[in-house]
Each structure stands twice: as C-alpha cells, then as structure tokens.
C-alpha cells in the first residue's frame, strides 16, 4: 500500500462555502474528506497513514488541514464570535494520553464517531464527525490538531534519523469463511 495525496489545504477555507472540500487519499480504497456544510466542517471517510515516506507526506498534509481549521476557529474565538455551543453527546473525546503512533497494535482513540487506531506500520483514521463553529468544535479541533501533530512528530523523528523507509507494503485484510457456521 502506498500513500499519496490528491489535494492540498491551500484552496480550501474552513467554515466558508458549503460546497468547498479537500481530500486526502492514501490508496485507491482510502480517503478522508473535509468539507463545509452550513457553518460546520464535516470529516468523513478513512485514511491510512503508513510509517514510510509517503505516509509522512500524508501526515504533513493532514496536519496542514488541521492547522488551517484550528487557526480559523482561533481567529473567531479571539474576536469573541464563537458561540458556546451545546453539549453534543456524540462527540465525546477519548483521551490521547499515552498514544504513541506506530508503537503498538492495540491503542484506539475516539472523537465522536471518528476512530483512530494505532498499528506498528500505520495509523488508521476512519469514521465521521461534524465540527461546529462554536466552542465545542474548537475544543474538538484542538484535539484533532494535537493528534495530527503527534502522528507527524513520530514520522518526522524517523525521517530526521534516516530510519523512515521509502515504502512499506501492507497486506490487505483477507476475510475468511467462519468455520463455526
């Protein structure tokens, strides 16, 4: 599996136009899309960030998009134009504490219906979340920004040490027939 980016964050403005969007794609079956919908940013899909050079490129773009959305929310927060928002039970946050990308096969964190799963050779992000342009959305975006920064930092450390492989091969999951049925 080889990661590749299909878009960049530059032409897209968060919370601006209902039709604007940006996508990150890591292979033909895996893409995460960010789009505007009526004053909200929706994140939907699946993305695999591999522990190789192409995953590093994807992590940089993911971080750039997270940074862009966070800066827009920070600008509105400083101007005092972010409403308090209402409690959203669907967007409960599982703490990032102890999340070390590419270090285990068991850590899974949750932000609403968006799941981030750790693997030794990749980090998988999948699901859907809608971030409102309010204090709740701001807190959720701080969380996503922190997560993207953690992933990018892990890959950056390997890149600087010269230990980041150019490409790794990830085997596709094979679904087998249940022998007990």
CA separation for the pair 127, 179 (Å, rounded): 30
Lowest mean pLDDT among 8-17, 88-97, 144-153, 162-171: 88-97
Q: Is residue 130 part of a domain?
A: yes
Look at residue 121 in the predicted model and tell me its pLDDT.
Answer: 93
pLDDT interval class at 21 (50, 70, 90): confident
**From CA 5, how far away is CA 58, in angstroms rounded?**
6
Q: Domain for residue 75, yes or no?
A: yes
Inside any domain, residue 82:
yes
Rounded Cα–Cα distance for residues 84 and 77 (Å): 10
Is a pLDDT exceeding 70 seen at residue 163?
A: yes
pLDDT of residue 156: 96
- The answer to the question of residue 51 being in a domain is yes
Q: pLDDT value at position 161?
A: 96
Quote the domain boundaries for residue 142: 21-161
The reported pLDDT for the residue numbered 5 is 44
In a domain, 148, yes or no: yes
Confidence of residue 57 (pLDDT cuts 50, 70, 90): very high
Rounded Cα gap, residues 151 and 136, in angstroms = 23
Pull the structure tokens for residue 145.
């920004």
pLDDT per position as a tens digit, 83-126 = 887 655 445 555 566 789 999 998 888 888 999 999 999 999 99
Kindly state the percentage of the chain with pLDDT values over 90. 49
Q: Is residue 11 part of a domain?
A: no
Whether residue 166 lies inside any domain: the answer is no
Structural domain includes residue 8: no
Number of domains in the chain: 1
């Amino acid at each position: 599996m080889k990661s590749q980016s299909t878009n960049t964050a530059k032409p897209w403005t968060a919370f601006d136009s209902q039709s604007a969007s940006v996508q990150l794609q890591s292979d033909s079956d895996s893409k995460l899309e960010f789009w505007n919908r009526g004053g909200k940013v929706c994140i939907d899909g699946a993305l695999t960030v591999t522990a190789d050079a192409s995953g590093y490129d994807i992590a940089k773009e993911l971080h750039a998009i997270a940074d862009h959305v966070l800066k827009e929310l920070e600008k509105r927060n400083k101007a005092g134009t972010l409403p308090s928002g209402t409690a959203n039970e669907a967007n409960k946050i599982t703490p990032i504490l102890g999340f070390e990308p590419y270090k285990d096969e068991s850590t899974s964190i949750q932000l609403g219906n968006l799941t981030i799963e750790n693997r030794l050779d990749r980090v998988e992000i999948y699901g859907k979340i809608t971030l409102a342009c309010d204090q709740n959305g701001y807190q959720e975006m701080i969380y996503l920004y922190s997560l993207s920064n953690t992933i990018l930092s892990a890959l950056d450390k390997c890149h600087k040490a010269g230990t980041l492989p150019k490409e790794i091969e990830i085997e596709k999951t094979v679904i087998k027939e249940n022998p007990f049925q």
